[in-house]
Structure 1
Amino acid sequence: MRRQYVPNMPTLCETRWSHKYKSIRIFHKNIPTIYEALENLSKEGNTSTRKSAFQLQSAMQRPVFLVCATIIGKYSNILEPVANILQSKSLDLLNCTDHVNTISSLIKEHRENVDDTAKGIMFEVNEIADQLNITIAAPRTSKTQTHRTNTPANSTDEYFKRSIIIPYLDSLIMSLGLRFSETNLPAYSILQLHPYHMLQISSQQMKSRVQTISAFYEIEGLEYEIELWRKLWVDKGLTYDVLKDIDLIDCYKECSAYFPSVKTCLAISLAQPCTTSSVERSFSTLRRVKTWLRATMATERLSGLCLLSIHRKMAHDRKEELQMKVLEKFAEDKRRIVLL
């Protein structure tokens, strides 16, 4: 039925942030269409459908809902490309970090000029409200308020600016600051050991960043190895286009016994995930494992089956060893079923 009334509207995915941003963006774009579809569903269909549609339509009529949907949709458009890049296979984390810093600076400018920002958001909210025949008004105030705060404001726009827009911008700035803070710089700086990035900066800049990496991860001798590591790639005489196509794992394989510290740094960079996308994608494993035959299994056993499904190649290589361990484990437990 959702496909019939709103064919372009995807469902909200709770496990993948990139899909969540996309869902919010498309939802905000199609608010009038969704509202009209809910209005039609509230008048036709069975009792349960009419009831649910009427409740959702009533929620969309609230000014707070329209303001929240507009501001979240606005900044979801900005953050969606970053989420897609962070979950891509070929990821340039350094450039992505620079882009996030640019986004953070832009949001800080919106916060400093919050009057102009709020004016643009409220103008868009009023346009949507006019299409839905809804009046945007601030909620009433009383002397004693128990369920929400009495935000002082002289107008409707000022009320929503103080109660929703400013707190949202502050929260967004703080979240970006925590995820891309100065304490994460050593992890990003390890990527400078890749020859493509290393040869684009001076030797002095490279030494400064290597000192940060060495102090954070307590890796000895990295300052002395980096000069030889840089010399190795300079002597190869490869172009930047060729260097750009070299994977980090290829750099790791290039490290011989003469570069133990560089090899340790590259191993750290290869081991640390940039996002939780790998974990998020593992949820799809349940579709192969969580059948009706496995529905009564405990969580521990289900997690083990999921790990076997994800790492099935590794399990296949050690099949005989795993089979013997399973038989030994099965033999240790007493049989609960009594055979007559």
Structure 2
Amino acid sequence: MAQSIVRNIASSIRKAKYFSIMADEVTDASNKEQVVICFRRVDDQLEAHEDFVGLYMVESIQSDNIVHVLTDTMTRMNLSINNCRGQCYDGASNMAGSRKGVVTQIRALEPRATYTHCYGHALNLAVSDTVKQNKILRDVLDITFEISKLVKFSPKRDAMFTRLKEELVPGTIGFRTLCPTRWTVRAASLHSVLENYAVFQALWQEVKESRIDSEIRARVTGVEAAMNKFDFLFGLMLGERLLRHTDNLSKTLQNPSMTASEGQNIADLTVKTLSTMRSEEAFDIFWKQVEVLRQQTGLSEAALSRKRKAPFGSEVGRSEGYHPSSPKEYYRRQYFECFDFIVSSIRDRFNQPGYTSLLNTENLLLKAAKGDNYGTELAFVQDYYGDDVILSSLATQLELLTTAFTPQLEEVTLSTIKSFLQSLSLAQKASFSEVCKVLCFVLVTPATNAVSERSASALRRVKTYLRSTMSQVRLNNLLVLHAHKAETDTLSISSCLNEFVAGSEHRLRIFGKFD
């Protein structure tokens, strides 16, 4: 049954011709390294599909081993690497290394295989960079993670929290655990702490009054002391305000139909939104919100730390070092600093070399539809994709595209061009065959490697510690069926049975053929 699904996927990829490779590494329940392999293709209706095709067990995740896995998989599925137009992995050195990384070796075999560093991983790294640069945010996430361990790892304290929540703030959301390895749960966790601030304050008092060992008492006392400081409240609200935008961006990027070009556009929109929040007016409103919550929770007012003189060896010149004149000025600086960090980090992480080719390819279609001069972009597409496109036919069809969109007054985007081509009949679409091919190059490049991440999560459900001794072949087949449930339901059972018995004379004699 699993082989039937994989054969159908391989047939669909060959029909689409061009594809992208996506891969990820994961360790299963029996401590074996597995490489998750997925492909992205674009069908005749210009809709993108991402398909998991299986696992490959390796001794190590060195780049040479992963390249062998990918090329062997393509050979088994009768796919030519010459038709690979994209690749998407995380940013680890074995994948994205400039000398011997998987990206470099694949591009040596096919230079047109544009590499995209998974935008989900890139965004996660941008958020991590921001948190590491600011001490207030770093302490807030550490303390929130400690709260997660104190509450969720203890059924007794979890029950106490639930009871206090129903008594003090009934109807509010519960506590959301902070998972450091997931992409889109940080803001929800910080928001849940804000909603249940009074509950946690009461919880720590009740926990300390109960019989607990000295280690837990010290951890609870430390968390309670941190939550009674203005720094924690300020950082909690600032972190929630920042991370809800990055979490929303992360969720959007994980859509399977999202292309790398569209991912860049939505990332630019998020950066512009965060930039508008970096203003004096926005900070004044934010400061008032912090003060209101501070009064509700009974925390002390913000205070400046003691002014200290710089060490003798680090003094430069005779001027006095900077020291804020008021607590609001100090926290204003922290506010602006965090927004500067997150904006610059997202821009740096999303500024990828492979995006240049996608941008030129997309601009070729957009400029042609708007009637602008696209000579530079046409020359780039001809040089980059070579014999993939027929230049004379493409130039003619771009002129047709200009004529088709000239009467329209609405703004032309890649989505409007895609919708226009989808509305054409099969015979009419032949007049735009090269334009469809160029659009396919943009659509086939994935924005994230989320499908591989989801397949790795499915591996945890299929191969558990109770089923850790199953063979690799059985594991692979079960996971393919698990990942493609809809396709599994449409399989012809009689065809699968006939294929099974045809593989052995002994089976054929016992079971015969099925109708």
Give the strand-richer structure, 1 or 2.
Answer: 2
- Listed as ranges, the matches of 1:202-281 within 5 Å are 202-204=370-372, 208-214=376-382, 217-219=384-386, 221=389, 224-230=392-398, 263=437, 265=438, 268-281=441-454
Q: CA RMSD in A?
A: 4.9
Task: Report the number of matched residues.
Answer: 302
The answer to whether the Cα contact below 8 Å between 1:39 and 1:53 also exists between their aligned partners in 2 is yes
Q: Does 1:122 align with 2:292?
A: no
Q: Does 1:186 align with 2:357?
A: yes
Match for 1:281: what amino acid? R
Distance 1:14 1:228, change over 3 A: farther
1:59-111 Cα distance to aligned partner (Å, 9 max, x none):
22232222221112112333343322222244376666444334323433444
**What SS is found at the alignment partner of 1:18?**
coil
Distance in 1 between residues matched to 2:372 and 2:418, nearest whole Å? 22
The answer to whether the Cα contact below 8 Å between 2:421 and 2:436 also exists between their aligned partners in 1 is no
Q: Does 1:131 align with 2:302?
A: no
Q: 2:332 aligns with which of 161, 165, 172?
A: 161
Instruction: Report what 2:254 is aligned to.
Output: 87
Instruction: Report what 2:233 is aligned to.
Output: 66
**What SS is found at the alignment partner of 1:12?**
coil
Match for 2:395: what amino acid? E
Distance 1:212 1:40, change over 3 A: farther
Distance in 2 between residues matched to 1:244 and 1:11, nearest whole Å? 41
Instruction: Report what 1:333 is aligned to.
Output: none
Q: Does 1:105 align with 2:275?
A: no
Q: Does 1:22 align with 2:188?
A: yes
Match for 1:157: what amino acid? K
**What SS is found at the alignment partner of 1:137?**
coil
Structure 1's unaligned 5+ residue stretches are: 325-340
Distance 1:93 1:22, change over 3 A: farther
Q: TM-score, normalised by structure 2?
A: 0.45
Q: Does 1:57 align with 2:230?
A: no
**What SS is found at the alignment partner of 1:57?**
helix
The answer to whether the Cα contact below 8 Å between 2:462 and 2:479 also exists between their aligned partners in 1 is no
The answer to whether the Cα contact below 8 Å between 2:263 and 2:447 also exists between their aligned partners in 1 is no
1:196-255 Cα distance to aligned partner (Å, 9 max, x none):
x788x324355554445555x454556544334446779999x9999766899x99xx99
The answer to whether the Cα contact below 8 Å between 1:190 and 1:269 also exists between their aligned partners in 2 is yes
Shift of 1:40: 5.1
Instruction: Report what 1:42 is aligned to.
Output: 207
Shift of 1:47: 1.5
The answer to whether the Cα contact below 8 Å between 1:192 and 1:198 also exists between their aligned partners in 2 is yes
Structure 2's unaligned 5+ residue stretches are: 1-157, 166-171, 312-320, 504-515
Q: 1:75 aligns with which of 218, 238, 242?
A: 242
Q: TM-score, normalised by structure 1?
A: 0.64
Distance 1:242 1:134, change over 3 A: closer
**What SS is found at the alignment partner of 1:78?**
helix
Match for 1:22: what amino acid? A
- Listed as ranges, the matches of 1:302-313 within 5 Å are 310-312=479-481
Shift of 1:172: 0.9
Give the helix-richer structure, 1 or 2.
Answer: 1
Distance in 1 between residues matched to 2:429 and 2:342, nearest whole Å? 41
Q: Does 1:292 align with 2:465?
A: yes
Match for 1:277: what amino acid? A
The answer to whether the Cα contact below 8 Å between 1:86 and 1:274 also exists between their aligned partners in 2 is yes
Distance in 1 between residues matched to 2:199 and 2:322, nearest whole Å? 31
Kindly indicate whether structure 1 or structure 2 has the higher relative contact order, using CA contacts under 8 Å at least 6 residues apart: 2
The answer to whether the Cα contact below 8 Å between 1:12 and 1:23 also exists between their aligned partners in 2 is yes
Distance in 2 between residues matched to 1:15 and 1:245, nearest whole Å? 37
Identity value in percent: 19
Match for 1:171: what amino acid? F
Match for 1:105: what amino acid? K
Distance 1:247 1:134, change over 3 A: farther
The answer to whether the Cα contact below 8 Å between 2:261 and 2:359 also exists between their aligned partners in 1 is yes
Match for 1:78: what amino acid? H
Distance 1:118 1:86, change over 3 A: same
Instruction: Report what 2:323 is aligned to.
Output: 152
Shift of 1:12: 2.5
Instruction: Report what 1:329 is aligned to.
Output: none
Match for 1:166: what amino acid? F
Shift of 1:274: 0.7
Shift of 1:173: 1.2
Q: Does 1:174 align with 2:344?
A: yes
